[in-house]
Amino acid sequence: MGLKEDALKLHEDNKGKLAVSSKVEVKDKNDLSLVYTPGVAEVCKVIAENPEEAYKYTFKSNTVAVFTDGSAVLGLGNIGAKASLPVMEGKSILFKQLADIDAFPICVDTQDKEELIKIARNIAPGFGGINLEDISAPKCFEIEKDLQDLGIPVMHDDQHGTAITVLAAMINAAKVVDKKMEDLKVVVNGAGAAGIATVKLLNCFNIDKKICMPVRDIIVCDSKGIIHRGREGLNDVKEQLAGMTNRNDVSGILKDALKDADVFIGLSKGNVLTAEDIKVMGKDAIILAMANPIPEIMPSEALKVAKVVGTGRSDFPNQINNSLAFPGVFRGALDARALRINDEMKIAAAKAIAGCVEPTVDNILPYTLDKNVVPAVAKEVARIAKETGACEK
């Protein structure tokens, strides 16, 4: 059978992928009187007196809502809440298997920004964190920003999970080609949620050393070419991008941007580059072409010129997949009982992921299901959360 048939069969046979389970067995009336009335009332009273006790006596300490409106699901676009369920169940079982987090899909039947914010706030009592998922730009930025004071970590994975994994890949790819991160000239193709978050994270790379030492220069391209300060018709987000990138204010198209670049980061659509196009890049070029399922340039083509090539796909070396990031980031945030996930924690996660392998040309990142990744990431994220005040109001 093909992928489609296999996937449909697996989902039909199991009626989905996620279930709930009980951590305590109710064998008799005595058990019942403890887990339910009347005993449970005593637990409620303790939490009513001090809401923080919910972390001690309920599953809140280990739950994450996988929250979506289905407006930007995978490459499928706006397919709505119900059709997004298989992805959210999939994400939830990865949370469970990789990080032992009790994640549950909350697929929401409105796509109105203010409504989504209100609902996320209102369902928060039962959750230790919220993973925003597959919500379209630009509202994803505003929703995430608004929810930062909620008192539990809220992270839009399409932005930051991707940014963290890309940063991890860059750290190790730079090692392989023996270049310093701060010397790199980087071209990012794609100014969507993932592209913007990646640029922002690269811009504050090394923030944990209290020195802002970003990569040398970043140029961002969208479908209209290079984003620069003089370009007309930029929206707010791209205006902001123009201000923080492209230090020489270069204009032109993607191929112009690539001149002397050390790294190409593709977060857009497939088949936009040839080997000829990337010949203008600097020596030992790094290509991270993450468009799915067809990368911006196929590895066989890219390797005619570049030194290190990664994609989003599992059937080529160097898969760059945010499953390396989100389970450990939330595990660490929950373990530290962080109130938010700050940039320092994201950078710590990227470094920890990178630290899980001795990088080579064909192995810049650990295997997606490598059991060593989550503990390493969680430990660093929790440590940095405490150090940087992310656990304090």
| Alpha carbons 304 and 1: distance in angstroms, whole number | 34
Q: Is the preceding peptide bond at 327 cis, omega within 30 degrees of 0? A: no
Task: Show the site string, 299-338: x = touches its own copies by CB under 8 A, - = not.
Answer: ---------------xx-------x---------------
Among residue numbers 235 through 294, which ones bind its own copies (CB under 8 A)? 292-293
Q: Would you give the DSSP letter of residue 279?
A: T
Q: Is the preceding peptide bond at 105 cis, omega within 30 degrees of 0? A: no
- Pick the catalytic residue from 36, 145, 279, 371: 36
Q: What are phi and psi of 167, to 5 degrees?
A: -65, -40
| Alpha carbons 373 and 146: distance in angstroms, whole number | 30
Please tell me whether residue 54 binds its own copies under the rule CB under 8 A: yes
Size of interface with its own copies, in residues (CB under 8 A):
97
Cβ proximity to its own copies: between 316 and 383 the closer is: 316
Please tell me whether residue 360 binds its own copies under the rule CB under 8 A: no
Cβ proximity to its own copies: between 106 and 219 the closer is: 106
- In a 10 Å sphere around its CB, with 0-12 CB exposed, 13-18 middle and 19+ buried, how is residue 204 labelled? middle
Q: Residue 286 in 3-state DSSP?
A: strand
Interface stretch with its own copies, choices 7-15, 204-212, 325-333, 357-365 (CB under 8 A):
7-15
**What is the residue type of 73?**
V
- Pick the catalytic residue from 60, 91, 238, 346: 91
| Alpha carbons 83 and 70: distance in angstroms, whole number | 7
Residue 304 designated active-site: no
CB 246 within 8 A of CB 228: yes
Cβ proximity to its own copies: between 61 and 206 the closer is: 61
The binder of its own copies chosen from 7, 212, 213, 250 (CB under 8 A): 7
In angstroms, give the least distance from the CB of 296 to its own copies.
Answer: 17
Cβ proximity to its own copies: between 304 and 371 the closer is: 371
**What is the residue type of 150?**
L
Among residue numbers 18 through 37, which ones bind its own copies (CB under 8 A)? 18-29, 32-37
The binder of its own copies chosen from 12, 178, 232, 236 (CB under 8 A): 12
Annotate 216-249 with b (16+ C-beta within 10 A) or e (fewer).
ebbbbbbeeebbbeebeebeeebeebbebbbeee
Nearest to 203 by CA among 183, 217, 221: 217
Interface stretch with its own copies, choices 40-48, 169-177, 193-201, 239-247 (CB under 8 A):
40-48
Among residue numbers 60 through 119, which ones bind its own copies (CB under 8 A)? 60-62, 73-76, 79-94, 96-97, 102-110, 115, 118-119
Task: Show the site string, 226-245: x = touches its own copies by CB under 8 A, - = not.
Answer: --------------------
Residue 55 designated active-site: no
In angstroms, give the least distance from the CB of 159 to its own copies.
Answer: 17
| Alpha carbons 49 and 55: distance in angstroms, whole number | 13
Please tell me whether residue 362 binds its own copies under the rule CB under 8 A: no
In angstroms, give the least distance from the CB of 52 to its own copies.
Answer: 9
CB 331 within 8 A of CB 325: no
Nearest to 316 by CA among 289, 342, 335, 334: 289
Cβ proximity to its own copies: between 292 and 360 the closer is: 292
Task: Please identify every residue annotated as catalytic.
Answer: 36, 91
